[in-house]
Amino acid sequence: MQRSYLGLRIPEGMHDLLPEELALQERLERNVLDLFRRWSYQKVLTTTLEFGACVQPNSDVEDQIYKFFDRKGHILALRPELTTPIARLVSTRMRGQELPLRLCYSADVFRNSLVRNREFRQAGVELVGSNAGLADAEIIALAVETIKSLGVKDFQINLGHMGIFLGLMKEAGISEELQAKLEDFLARKDMVGVEILVRQSNLAPDFQQILLRLPHLNGREEILDEVLSWSRSQDIREAVEGLRQVYRYLADFGVQKYIALDLGILRGFSYYTGVIFEGYLPGVGFPVIEGGRYDLLYADFGYPLAATGFALHLGSILGQFPLTSLENADVFVYGRDPQAVINKSQEFRSQGKRVEMSLGELSKEAIQELAAKKKIPVLCKV
């Protein structure tokens, strides 16, 4: 039966990969995973489908989750990211293992959002079981090296801290409703929305100016001193000094030149609690790498552990790189006797050669033309 119109299409936001496109993704992925291995991160793979109870409570984009029902009526979801499923994995099958754990992954994630890509490849790492500033610095330094492993030289990592924003909200006694709106606007870089919210609030004029200044506070270490001049809050002071320590560690890693402090960034998932960061490439209007500290997530799974990590949106940036040349066959085997063609092809393959064999009797001219089009350098007649 002939397929309908929809049978020739794919769902919106999904994508097929042609051989050249897949070769590019696999090459970049291989570079990234080799780098993770050199930093002692071990690869894990979680299930594509999770129970909704796993991913829903921790996602600020619940309406973007693809949901299903199994035969028992349980809500299932396609994973929208990997951090939460890995937290589930560590809290169950890896519970009690020696800490810290250094885990990495590369897998597809799915978000039923309004953006162009709804299925895309993510590669990332999770460092579980340490609350040290050095752990944050390791993750950020590895994020820098990850972007460099793609062959990119011109990029920037913006580094902030959730504790500064949360400390200001606490000190000002801002309502949960206003805080949630501010978080949303800041995460989406909607500065107009931020200004309207702040101007319409009942906050003191001085504090309004601080909130309006915050999204534009970026640069080097001197901006941290400005933050300390705003407040005597212990929470804010600890966040600032923690961020300062991580920033200085990044100089020891030799990557500080790629880092800009940016106190206006907020991550789009509610579980982030400390240092947070985003990485940008020129001409790309969204962060290509995102991460930070999330010390409360594991407690939701009954296994309280500090953790930090990042994800590289590999599938979303393939168009920024030239396609990888495909490996052509080394030898084209042809002849009148199919058995002889098979035997010779198998012999070459046992020697590690890439072999394409003729599937029928063709003229010498046709064979030469076909091999030329496929860029196969050697012809073998049997």
332 and 371 in contact (C-beta within 8 Å)? Answer: yes
Residues 18 and 137 in one domain: yes
User: Which residues, other chains included, contact 76 with Cβ-Cβ below 8 Å and sequence gap of 6+?
Assistant: 49, 50, 51, 52, 67, 68, 69, 70
Of 202, 220, 255, which closes a domain? 255
Cα torsion angle, 75, 76, 80, 81, sign: positive
**C-alpha 57: how far from its chain's center?**
20
Residues 130 and 205 in one domain: no
Domain housing 251: 165-255
Respond yes or no on whether the N-terminal peptide bond of residue 80 is cis (omega within 30° of 0). no
Residues 183 and 288 in one domain: no
**How high is the pLDDT of residue 267?**
63
Residues 365 and 307 in one domain: no
Residues 171 and 314 in one domain: no
The answer to whether residue 270 is domain-embedded is no
DSSP-derived 3-state class of residue 19:
helix
User: Which residues, other chains included, contact 57 with Cβ-Cβ below 8 Å and sequence gap of 6+?
Assistant: 300
Cα–Cα distance between 111 and 105 in angstroms, integer?
A: 18
**How high is the pLDDT of residue 115?**
66
Question: What is the token pair recorded at 325?
Answer: 């040349």
The answer to whether residue 318 is domain-embedded is yes
**How high is the pLDDT of residue 270?**
64
Residues 173 and 205 in one domain: yes
Cα–Cα distance between 346 and 325 in angstroms, integer?
A: 25
Question: What is the token pair recorded at 119?
Answer: 């299925």
Q: What is the pTM of this model?
A: 0.90
The answer to whether residue 265 is domain-embedded is no
Residues 187 and 236 in one domain: yes
Residue 127 β-bridge partners: 102, 308
The tally of domains found in the chain comes to: 3
**What would the 3-class secondary structure string for 48-77 be?**
CEEEHHHHCCCCCCHHHCCEEECCCCCEEE
Per-residue pLDDT of the chain (382 residues; tens, 9 = 90+): 788 888 889 888 888 999 999 999 999 999 999 999 999 999 999 999 999 999 876 545 567 899 999 999 999 999 999 999 999 999 999 999 999 999 999 999 998 876 667 888 999 999 999 999 999 999 999 999 999 999 998 999 999 999 988 888 888 788 888 888 887 787 777 788 888 888 888 778 888 888 888 888 888 998 998 888 887 789 999 999 999 999 999 999 999 999 999 988 876 556 789 999 999 998 888 899 999 999 999 999 999 999 999 999 998 899 899 998 888 999 999 999 999 999 999 999 999 999 999 998 888 899 999 999 999 999 999 9
Cα torsion angle, 177, 180, 184, 190, sign: positive
The answer to whether residue 269 is domain-embedded is no
CB atoms within 10 A of CB 246: 26
Residues 111 and 59 in one domain: yes
* H-helix segments, the chain: 19-38, 52-55, 83-92, 133-149, 162-172, 176-187, 191-200, 205-213, 222-230, 234-252, 338-350, 364-373
Cα–Cα distance between 106 and 250 in angstroms, integer?
A: 25
Cα–Cα distance between 338 and 371 in angstroms, integer?
A: 18
Phi then psi dihedrals of residue 65, to 5 deg: -90, 130
CATH of the domain at 70: 3.30.930.10
Question: What is the token pair recorded at 53?
Answer: 């109870």
User: Which residues, other chains included, contact 301 with Cβ-Cβ below 8 Å and sequence gap of 6+?
Assistant: 87, 88, 91, 92
What percent of the chain is helix, strand and coil (3-state, nearest 5)?
A: 45, 20, 35
The answer to whether residue 261 is domain-embedded is no
**How high is the pLDDT of residue 306?**
98
The answer to whether residue 304 is domain-embedded is yes
In single-letter form, the type of residue at position 294 comes to Y
Cα torsion angle, 167, 170, 173, 175, sign: positive
